[in-house]
Structure 1
Amino acid sequence: MNHHISAGTSYDECQPLGSDNAKLEPLLRKGHTKSRRGCHSCKRRRVKCPENRPACTQCTRRRLKCEWPELYISQAEEVIVKKSPTIPRQIELLPPVFKMQDFRLFHHFINDAYPIEPIGNESIWTHEIPSIAHNYNYLLHAMLALSASDIEASSNEHSLELAQSAIFHRILAIKYFNRALSARLHTFEERNAILATCFILLYQSKLIDEGLSEYLTFVRGCVLIPLQMTSKDLKLLFQNLLSDEGIEKTRPYLQDLQAVDLKSMDAAYASLEGLRPLCEREVEKRMHERLLDLVRCFYLSSCDGYIAWLKGSVFFSCHITHAEFLALIDPSNVAGQLLLSHLVAVQTLISPIKPMERAGRKNSHFINGMARWLEVAHAKVDPSMRGYFEWPIKRAEEVRQWFKYEKALAT
């Protein structure tokens, strides 16, 4: 192995092992016990290595590069761990993950970034969920991810540090989330942690440019997980979940919703009618009819329309198979992409009237995120099909203008 020798190293120290100096050296030095775990440099020089790491005293004094055999390094780590019986090995060798900024993110989640859905669960999000987060790494990372995205999206300037933090925590949250799902969920607390994580990742998806497919995937999870839990008579922390019965219980929260712009609903209905000839698969026809029913309900009242919109979430989970869901979100399925774009565009009409459980809390950056989904989809759709996309992209432009106005008011 080649070793780096600095300019300050003496001539004698650089002599080859076969030189006369090397032959005389054993006769001139005192005897010692063998060093069996010494560094490479000391072994080449045939001197006893003090074995202090990361650079031994011999190499440090002579300004030599101190390198160790990998086998000995791993053995040394085992010795260190055995000498510290009170510290588990996985903790001893695990690098720190959380930074000081993460404490700010945790605080922001509790105060401003927690999901407003399921409706009527504010105390669950601000008390129960934070109190169990330290037990579940996927839940804690999801909370920090949404909080970072929320701060970054609602601020006037782009923050690379926050954007990187949001992605970093999201990747870890999904990694641990999938691992937890593949294992058996035993406890009441653990299952509720899984459900909370699903809702949090769903909300963060709205702030990711190409997050529509992930958003719809987590919508399925937010319905299927509670159904699995209730089928086994397991209790839930959250109330008014996305089942037909739970959704109907939200009506008292929805009585004072402001009216939706009916002219915009007229435009949505006309654009959806134009998609009818493109819907050939059974799942496309069913989704198309769902969207038309949704728009019709808003002509009755905002409350009826909002209830219909919530029940539409159940459609993606309980009324279509997994294979049908994958076919619907497939980027090569033009009809599916157009239907999903209309779904998002209608949702941007609904979002401003959503009941806000905390006075003064803004959700304009979430709506702006969904407008970016429409722009991404429009850029990818075949130019010959963009005539069907006229209303969704117009709606995206309206949202952009509204978002700029909201930010101007905030400043």
Structure 2
Amino acid sequence: MTHHESTGTSHDEHQPLGNDDAKPEPLQRKVHTKSRRGCYNCKKRRIKCPENHPTCTQCTRHRLECKWPELYINKAEEVVKMSPTIPQQVELSTPVFNMRDFRLFHHFIHDAYPIIEPIDNESTWTHKIPCIAHNYNFLLHAMLALSASDIEATSGKPSSELAQAAISHRILAIKSFNRALSAGLHTSEEGNAMLATCWILLYQSILIDQGFSEYLTFVRGCVLVLLQMGSKNLKFLFMNLVSDDEIEKTRPYLQHMPAVDLRSVDAAYASLEGLGPLCEREVEKMLQQRLLEIVRNFYISSCDGYISWLKGSVFFTCQISHAEFLAMIDPSHVVGQLLLSHMAAVHTLITPIKPNERAGRKNLHFAKGLVRWLEVAHANIDPRMRSYYEWPTKRAEEVREWLQHEQASAT
């Protein structure tokens, strides 16, 4: 081995300088400790490897592919703790999402995505929305929250693990969504992610015992995002949205809906008319009249009643203020709670007849949710108001019987 090879210096660096007769001083070999875990290139060149992972300084300088012995690779965690030169981005850390979340994500795509409004958007939920979820924490957490709630509800067995996952992801989704909404809506993708998040959280509210007010809150959220996207001419991934023109386009999907029992329609109309003397505020009168209009349309056809319901859902966002909305859902607002009970009961007229996009699986979640909401609303009725709750209470019993029949036939 030549001298310049052993020291790692070039030949020109050892040409004599000055007086040719001067005697060269004896050269000293650098002393260093052995590198037992260095890379293959440093070992081959017999130089000390700095052992900084994944590419050591020597290999970086000479543009070589840095390869390490298997022993070194197997002790990656120990090396991370030892080496101060490892970039921050490759340090080991606790993952944000775990293996259970991957299962929840898969379940959302195959079984848990919303099948309520907007109609005819199955491919959007199973393909387009999952493709953008990784860019928006609020959307991804919402998907995982709904999926956890859906698995628990479908199994029929309480699970503290799934319940905790559902509420944790829901809280994270709402917090992240509120921050994003405050920052403003800028792109079509961002708008569609926000819109999907509202619909997912709305749908999860159905699986929460006291979720009716949250359900209505997210109805408002959906329309708010829709209006913002429309004002900025942003492109929608979803079809058949909440404008009257878009809703009318759903008629071809609804022509074969079964008829609603007219005895239930009669009972609903009579009960709603009886609320007239109690409705003193303008917002109360508006909601009572809107519910009466929906019920009247069921006399024409199930399709007309269902479309009237879709159009009526915009009432809570476009026709009343935020302060009026909060007053309406306040548990201490007696007339407001009575009207909301009737609203949930009117919705049960739709549940058995509404179209089902997901082949091979009946959507009973909404019916079960409506019954739970009615049971909660009727748990602490003022005795003086009990007669006004007679039809919603009876309707809850009818839907419960229908659910038992559907579940029995499924088995």
Normalised-by-shorter TM-score class: 0.7 to 0.9
Query: In 1, Cα distance between the equivalents of 2:322 and 2:169?
Result: 27
1:80 CA displacement: 9.0
1:367, distance to aligned residue in structure 2 (A): 1.0
Tell me whether 1:343 sits opposite 2:343 in the alignment.
Answer: yes
Correspondence list, 1:202-241, <5 A: 202-241=202-241
| Partner amino acid, structure 1, of 2:257 | L
How big is the shift at 1:196?
A: 0.3
Shift of 1:86: 5.1
Counterpart contact for 1:223–1:243, Cα < 8 Å: no
Specify the alignment match of 2:253 in structure 1.
Answer: 253
Inter-partner Cα distance in structure 2 for 1:86 and 1:163: 35
> Do the aligned residues in 1 keep the contact of 2:124 with 2:237 (CA within 8 Å)?
yes
1:404 Cα offset (Å): 2.6
Aligned to 2:98: 99
Aligned-partner residue type, residue 207 of structure 1: L
Q: SS of the residue aligned with 2:314?
A: helix
Q: CA deviation at 1:154?
A: 2.0
Q: Which one has the largest radius of gyration?
A: 2
1:157 to 2:157 alignment: yes
Unaligned runs of 5+ in 2: 1-80
- Structure 1 residue matching 2:309: 3-state secondary structure: helix
> Structure 1 residue 94: deviation in Å?
6.1
Structure 1 residue 349: Cα displacement: 1.6
Confirm or deny that 1:181 pairs with 2:197.
no
The Cα offsets for residues 233-280 of structure 1, whole Å up to 9 and x where unpaired, read as 111111111111211111111111111111111111111111111100
1:119 to 1:282, Cα distance in 2 relative to 1, 3 A? same
- For 1:298 and 1:360, the matched residues in 2 are separated by 27
314-323 or 194-203: bigger deviation: 314-323
Name the amino acid aligned to 1:87. Q
Tell me, yes or no, if the aligned pair for 2:185 and 2:228 is still in contact at 8 Å.
Answer: no
Q: Report the alpha carbon displacement of residue 156 of structure 1 after superposing the two structures with TM.
A: 3.0
In the alignment, structure 1 segments of 5+ residues that lack a partner are: 1-78
What is the RMSD of the two structures over their aligned residues, measured on CA atoms?
A: 1.8
Taking only the aligned residue pairs, the percentage that are identical comes to: 74
Indicate if the aligned counterparts of 1:352 and 1:363 stay in contact, CA closer than 8 A: no
Q: Which residue does the alignment assign to 2:289? A: 289
Instruction: Say which is worse superposed, 210-219 or 178-187, in terms of deviation.
Output: 178-187
Provide the secondary structure at the position in 1 that maps to 2:89.
coil
Q: Compute the TM-score of the two structures, normalised by the length of structure 1.
A: 0.77
Are residues 211 and 95 of structure 1, via their aligned partners in 2, closer, same or farther at CA, if it must alter by over 3 Å?
Answer: same
Aligned equivalents of 1:81, 1:351: Cα separation in 2: 62
Number of aligned residues: 330
Give, as a single letter, the amino acid of the residue that structure 1 aligns with 2:86.
Answer: S
Query: Is the Cα contact below 8 Å between 2:142 and 2:173 reproduced in 1?
Result: yes
Report SS of the residue matched to 2:199. Answer: helix
Is residue 2:144 matched to residue 1:144? yes
**Residue pairs, 1:125-136, within 5 angstroms:** 125-136=125-136
* Counterparts of 1:359 and 1:405, CA distance in 2: 20
Matches within 5 A, 1:69-88: 83-85=85-87, 87=89
2:389 is matched with which residue? 389
Range 395-404 or range 115-124, more displaced = 395-404
Compared CA separation, residues 94 and 346, structure 1 to 2 (3 A):
farther
* Superposition pairs of residues 7-86 of structure 1, within 5 angstroms: 83-85=85-87
In 2, Cα distance between the equivalents of 1:407 and 1:168? 30
